[in-house]
Every structure is written in structure tokens, then in C-alpha cells.
Structure 1
Amino acid sequence: MADPSLLVEWARRADRGPISTIALLDRLVYDNPEPLVALSMLAGATERVRLQTEVLIAPLHRTAVLAKQAATLHVLSGGRFTLGLGIGGREDDYDAVGLDVRRRGRRLDEQLQRLHQTWSGSTGIGPVARPPVLFGGFADAVLDRVGRFGDGFLGAALPPPAMARLFDGARVAWERHGRTGSPRLVVQVNAALGGTADVARAELRRYYGDNPYLDHMLDSVVTTPDAARATIATYRDLGVDEVMFYCWAPDPEQVDRLAEVGAP
């Protein structure tokens, strides 16, 4: 997101394989590209790779419009879109749209009912198409949403033992709500391969500011192919379905380096 003009190049390189998914975060009071608009453009520039929000801050969006936008992107991309949802925590984002940040969890729960009604065709808003839905976050309420409304859980920022507890919580919530099969488990890992670690850490500082977990995030950036392979192996052992390497350096060569790591 440091240079949005490079996103199409990133997407085209990822589409060559074996990268499985490209994803964009959502913020309002920041200079990132708006994710649904940007992913729509990337959908037209690609044929194979999946597209994902990681995560879209749903309470900032008008519910009916979001339902229509997500369904449209899912249909026009040939079913390649996954809607990752969360509530964020930046008060300035909520101030910008006149919402109370303290009500964001309740607002998302209200939105989920309407989203699913729209995707089922009961509201008259089309197209009728439900993209896969992941929920990201750390609280028990997030895990409960996975069981009630979602297809899986997306975890980020924490070390593997803490992530393992969240994954177990998602599985428990899934069973508690009588769901069959198992939730899709996705983990996000900060990465910067090929001598770009300093650039990536500078971007992390710019984005997270005085976040109390900033030092951990800076120290845990994956910077070598061996570390990336070890990270994949660690999370595979925890039953994770997909490891998302979040690249903080804008160099499109990151895609090729990660493709080599992930190649069969």
C-alpha cells in the first residue's frame, strides 16, 4: 500500500503461481487504497489468484451497499473473492463517518444479519451471491461470529502459541453452533524478503505508530526464505489452511521471492 500504482504488477506476478491469494487491508483515515475498489481492478488484471479483504472494517460501510459490492466482486471475479471482516480499533476512522467506536462490535452483529439476508435474495438487492466470509480479531465475540456467520477465522500479529489458542477457539465456536466440517483457518505474517527489511519496518512504524505491540511486530518480520519456510511448517502443524505473508515493502520482487518459498 506504500505505492498503490504497483498493485497491478503485484497481482499479475502473483497470478503466475503458486501464490494462492492476494489481500488488502481497510482503513479510512490513512493513505491506503480503498480495498473493494482496488481488488475489483486487480480482479480484471488476473485470472487465477484469489482476492481477499484482510480485513474490511464493516461498521464503516453502509450495509446494503457493502452487500451489493461484495456480491458483485465475487460474481465478476468468477467466484475468487473472500470477504474478510473485522471492526478495527482506530477512533479516527470512526470519527470520520460519525460513528461511536465503542459500538463497533454491536454494529457489526447487526450488519451480519442484513448481509446474509441480501446474499440469500430476500431483500431484492442483487446480485444474489454470497462470498466466503472470514472474521479477523482477538476477542471471544470474533470467534463466536465465525461459528454463527462465517466460513473461517483470520489471525494476525500474535506468536504461534497465542494464535493456536485462537484457532482452537474458532473450532470450539464452530462446533457449538452445530456447523459441519471445520472452519477455514488463515494466519497473517509480516514479511520482507531480499534486503527490504528496513523499508518494511519503517512502514510498520508509520502504520502502527505507538501500538504497544509494535516492538513484537518489528522483531517478528520474516526476512529470509528459510524463515518463511519454517513459518509455513509451524502453522501447517497447527492445522492452518493458508499462510498470508503481509509484505510491507513495495518492491514487486517480493512476490517472486515468496513464490519460490511456496513452490511445491
Structure 2
Amino acid sequence: MKIGLGLPIDDPALLLSWARRADTGPFSTLGLLDRLVFDNPEPLITLAALAGATSRIRLQTEVLIAPVHNTAMLAKQTATLDRLSGGRFTLGIGVGGREDDCLAAGIDMHRRGRRLDEQMPLLRRTWSGEPYGEGIGSIGPVPATSGGPEVLFGGFAPAAIERVGRFGDGFLGAALPPQFMAGLFRDVEAVWEKYDRPGRPRLVAQVNVALGPASTVEQARHNIRDYYDFSGRADHVANGLLTTPKGIREAVRAFQDIGADEVMLYCWSSDIDQVGLLADLAE
């Protein structure tokens, strides 16, 4: 099973160093989250920079809030990133749940799911090189990956699971322990069969982690609370942070047991020593 590394967001200037270190280690993927109204780096721009600083490791949004993006521009940006990275890009995608992001982008919070459903055929059409629409030519560049970058859908609602079967290559599950994630994984597999998709969906889990001294762990918990403050569940998520090698190993094994192809260790502390500490576990 593959082990990926989720990047911290509190100090963007450090991310090139994080990426270079991770690229020489055992990690399979670098992940970066998305928000609009928050103090985080824009993920597509950031991952493009990290593509130039790395040569092996994959690059993944987890997850990009697609409805707040212009669809034509999103198609062009993601195709460009896939091309620049030599096909190393995975588009983790979802609808988001923050009203302020929708207000800032000028979209209807209550239509964001329908908007994503409308976006996906346009993204697929654009990535295949077809005209974007009537009276509109094709939008390049052509992605390095035939048919476009790998697409993983994130979310918990039935509509998110359904999108995996309709449009996606797999599912990215976050913020749930293995015993609850197992049900979502089985639902994804059932939807995959419902749409008569070949092969099997890729199943990716994400777990929040931080290792090291108490100050590092507390910084991570502070960052989680800040990010999830809107939800009313910030303390619950922060208390679920895994902070010991034993706890992380057990979680990874449990996700493997329920069929995960990859586990993303999402680190909420920008202390660059985290890369080495987590690499020792991943090996």
C-alpha cells in the first residue's frame, strides 16, 4: 500500500523544501487542501511550483472546491499542471461546505453540487481535446495523461459517492476512522458496479498526524481548530490528531485492512522535521 504526505498550509514558503525532501523518500503523493476564504496557498499554483521542484512524487488536491472555479479555466489549469508534472497530477475534487467560499466566488451555495455535475462533462470533454462547446474551439494544452488527470471525489453524501461511478477514478475519504470509512468504501465499490465501470475504483484515506515535541503537536492542533472553526466540530477533529508512531501505524494497517490503496498522512505542523519522522514510519 502507498503512503502519501499531506502538506501543511501555515507557511507556504516552506513547501518547496517539504516537497524536495519528500521526493527523495518513500512517499507516493503530496497532497494540498483548498479553501478560498482562508489563509492557505492556492493549490493549483502551489502544486505547479512543486512539480518543478520534484521528479518522482505525485501531486494531489485534497480536495479542490471545483464549484468556486470557472470551469473553462479549471480545465486549462489542471491540464497544464498534468502536462508540467509529466502526468503526476491527481485532481481530488469536491463541493466544499463553507458558505463564505461560495459568497466570495459568487455562486449559489445550494447549487454547488449541481454545478459540479455540470462541470465534470466539460472537464472531460476539454481534456480529451474536443471543442469546449458550440461555437467554441478546444482548450489546450492536452494533458500528459490520456483523457485527463486522475479524478478522486471526496465527500460523505450519497451524491459524492455517486459521482465516483459517473465521473471519477476513485474516492478520497477524510476525517473518519477506519471502522466508519469501511462503509463508504463499500458504497463506492457498489456504485462502481452499478455504472458497470471496468476494474475497480481507487480508494484513498486521509488521517491527520503530527509527531515530535509537545509544542509541535500543539501547533498542529491549533491549525486544525482554525481550519475547522466554521464546522462546530473543530475540537473533535483536533482531538482525533494522531501523535504517536504506534497510533499512526495502527491506523494505516486498519485502512489497509478495509481496502485502501493509499493513506495520506496529513500533517498540520509546518516543522520540516515532520518529513523525516513520517518517512521513517512510511518505510
CA distance in 1, matches of 2:188, 2:82: 25
Asked if 1:236 is matched to 2:256, the reply is yes
Aligned-residue CA RMSD in angstroms? 0.9
> Closer, same or farther in 2 for the Cα pair 1:41/1:210, shift >3 Å?
closer
| Aligned residue in 2 for 1:67 | 75
Q: Deviations over 1:216-237 (max 9, x none)?
A: 3122111111111111101000
Q: Deviations over 1:177-236 (max 9, x none)?
A: 000111000111000011221111111111111523323312211111111111110100
User: SS at the partner of 1:22?
Assistant: strand
User: SS at the partner of 1:244?
Assistant: strand
> Closer, same or farther in 2 for the Cα pair 1:39/1:210, shift >3 Å?
closer
| Aligned residue in 1 for 2:135 | none
| Aligned residue in 1 for 2:275 | 255
| Aligned residue in 1 for 2:87 | 79
Structure 2 residues not aligned, in runs of 5+: 1-8, 132-137
Structure 1 residues not aligned, in runs of 5+: none
Structure 1 moving runs of 4+ over 2 Å: 210-216
| Aligned residue in 1 for 2:141 | 127
CA distance in 1, matches of 2:169, 2:156: 17
Paired-residue identity, %: 60
State the 1:128 CA deviation: 2.2
| Aligned residue in 1 for 2:3 | none
User: SS at the partner of 1:251?
Assistant: coil
1:116-155 correspondence runs (5 A): 116-123=124-131, 124-129=138-143, 130-155=148-173
Q: State the AA in 1 paired with 2:153.
A: F
| Aligned residue in 1 for 2:186 | 168
Task: Tell me the matched-pair count.
Answer: 263
Asked if 1:103 is matched to 2:111, the reply is yes
User: SS at the partner of 2:231?
Assistant: coil
Q: State the AA in 2 paired with 1:193.
A: L
User: Which of the residues 58, 67, 73 maps onto 1:50?
Assistant: 58
| Aligned residue in 2 for 1:203 | 223
| Further displaced range: 102-111 or 209-218 | 209-218
CA distance in 2, matches of 1:237, 1:216: 25
For normalisation by structure 1, the TM-score amounts to: 0.98
Q: State the AA in 1 paired with 2:41.
A: P
Q: Deviations over 1:102-151 (max 9, x none)?
A: 10000000000100110111121112220000000001111111011101
